[in-house]
């Protein structure tokens, strides 16, 4: 009898008035509901805080549709040639490549320090804190801050973009390192290998393909970041041409042409990275 009573209190959840609770008081549902409510309220509030100076909604909407029509149906080049266009796209891709590759090299070493199974707890924690701080500053601010010290140009852009690439890749790399079979490390340690041997012979071979895939995924992001830096921080490339075409020449046809160029490259990069994701991360395709 006493056993049954004990079981009963453990298994049946009751409300305060003694009724059996049919909805299993699920904390998850509660938090989900609360979050959705709060986001909804904040969204409604947001429209009261916006600054609507000089907005004529009707004209703006029809104007935008007209602009989009001109852009996408009649793209032409007026201020530069096809060759120049390819060259500018090349610059943007080049900025992306440099930031990604240099970022991957730096991130590899930092990730070794950040991975819990390869490093000391205090070191791993401090690397993570620094990475979180770096991530909190938007890329464009990094680029603009570096532009003062290094002068406007590719150096400032690459260095600024490097920060976020490193932060992103350290997170991804260190997670890949932590997932490797502890047996590999243990076996190498038992033979008396040094830390550096463990990294080169044990960790690197078993994670290499993951590291490469992550690096490529970051390259996809860095391409659009490079476009943005061209436009907002004067880093050159196709982004800067886009900024000039829309902000200075008001040439919608050229804006359309540049947008198509960016779109095509972005779609190619996306196709490649989707294939990589499906091949190497079938289950965890969404750990960002």
Partner 1 sequence: MNEKQMRKNRWQTTFFFIVIIIITYLSAAITNFHFIDSVKTIPKAFEWILSNLIVSMESLEKLPQILDKLGETVFMSIAATTLAAVVSLFLAIMGSKTTKVNNFFSAIARLIASFSRNIPVVAWSLILLISFGQNSLTGFLALFVGTVGFLTRAFIESVDEANQSSVEALTATGATYFHMISKAVLPQSLPQMLSWILFMIETNIRSATLVGILTGTGIGYMFDLYYKTMNYNLVALITLTIIITVILIELASNKIRRVIL
Contact 261, 89 (CB under 8 A): yes
Contact 107, 169 (CB under 8 A): yes
CB 18 → partner 1: shortest distance, Å? Answer: 28
CB 178 → partner 1: shortest distance, Å? Answer: 18
CB 17 → partner 1: shortest distance, Å? Answer: 27
CB 62 → partner 1: shortest distance, Å? Answer: 8
DSSP letter, residue 21? P
Contact 140, 243 (CB under 8 A): no
Q: In the complex with partner 1, which residue's Cβ is closer, 17 or 48?
A: 48
Which of helix, strand or coil describes residue 121?
helix
CB 227 → partner 1: shortest distance, Å? Answer: 5
Q: In the complex with partner 1, which residue's Cβ is closer, 12 or 136?
A: 136
Residues with Cβ < 8 Å from 64, sequence gap 6 or more?
A: none
Q: How far apart are CA 118 and CA 180, in angstroms?
A: 11
Q: In the complex with partner 1, which residue's Cβ is closer, 154 or 193?
A: 154
Q: In the complex with partner 1, which residue's Cβ is closer, 145 or 272?
A: 145
Q: In the complex with partner 1, which residue's Cβ is closer, 7 or 68?
A: 68
Q: How far apart are CA 216 and CA 276, in angstroms?
A: 9
Q: How far apart are CA 241 and CA 245, in angstroms?
A: 6
CB 11 → partner 1: shortest distance, Å? Answer: 23
- Take residue 119 and report the two structure tokens written for it: 């490093």
Q: In the complex with partner 1, which residue's Cβ is closer, 4 or 136?
A: 136
CB 2 → partner 1: shortest distance, Å? Answer: 35
| Measured torsion, CA atoms of residues 75, 81, 85, 87, in degrees rounded to the nearest 10 | 170
Closest Cα to residue 220, out of 273, 280, 144? 273
Q: How far apart are CA 142 and CA 134, in angstroms?
A: 9
Q: In the complex with partner 1, which residue's Cβ is closer, 193 or 224?
A: 224
Residue 122 Cα distances to 116, 126, 134, 135, 178, angstroms = 10, 6, 19, 20, 16
């Amino acid at each position: 009898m006493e056993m049954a009573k004990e079981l009963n209190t453990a298994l049946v959840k009751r409300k305060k008035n003694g009724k059996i609770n049919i909805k299993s008081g699920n904390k998850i549902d509660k938090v989900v509901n609360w979050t959705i409510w709060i986001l909804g309220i904040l969204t409604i509030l947001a429209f009261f805080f916006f600054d609507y100076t000089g907005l004529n909604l009707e004209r703006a909407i029809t104007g935008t549709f007209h602009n989009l029509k001109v852009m996408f149906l009649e793209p032409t080049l007026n201020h530069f040639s096809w060759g120049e266009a390819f060259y500018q796209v090349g610059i943007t891709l080049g900025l992306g490549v440099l930031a990604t590759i240099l970022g991957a090299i730096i991130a590899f070493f930092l990730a070794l320090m950040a991975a819990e199974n390869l490093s000391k707890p205090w070191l791993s924690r401090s690397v993570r804190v620094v990475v979180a701080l770096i991530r909190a500053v938007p890329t464009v601010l990094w680029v603009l801050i570096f532009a003062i010290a290094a002068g406007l140009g590719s150096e400032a852009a690459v260095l600024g973009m490097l920060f976020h690439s490193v932060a992103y890749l350290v997170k991804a790399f260190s997670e890949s390192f932590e997932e490797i079979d502890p047996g590999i490390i243990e076996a190498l340690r038992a033979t008396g290998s040094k830390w550096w041997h463990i990294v080169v012979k044990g960790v690197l071979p078993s994670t290499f393909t993951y590291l490469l895939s992550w690096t490529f995924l970051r390259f996809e992001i860095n391409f659009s970041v490079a476009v943005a830096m061209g436009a907002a921080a004067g880093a050159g490339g196709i982004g800067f041409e886009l900024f000039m075409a829309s902000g200075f020449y008001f040439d919608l046809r050229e804006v359309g042409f540049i947008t198509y160029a960016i779109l095509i490259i972005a779609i190619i990069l996306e196709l490649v990275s989707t294939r990589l994701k499906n091949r190497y991360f079938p289950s965890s395709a969404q750990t960002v």
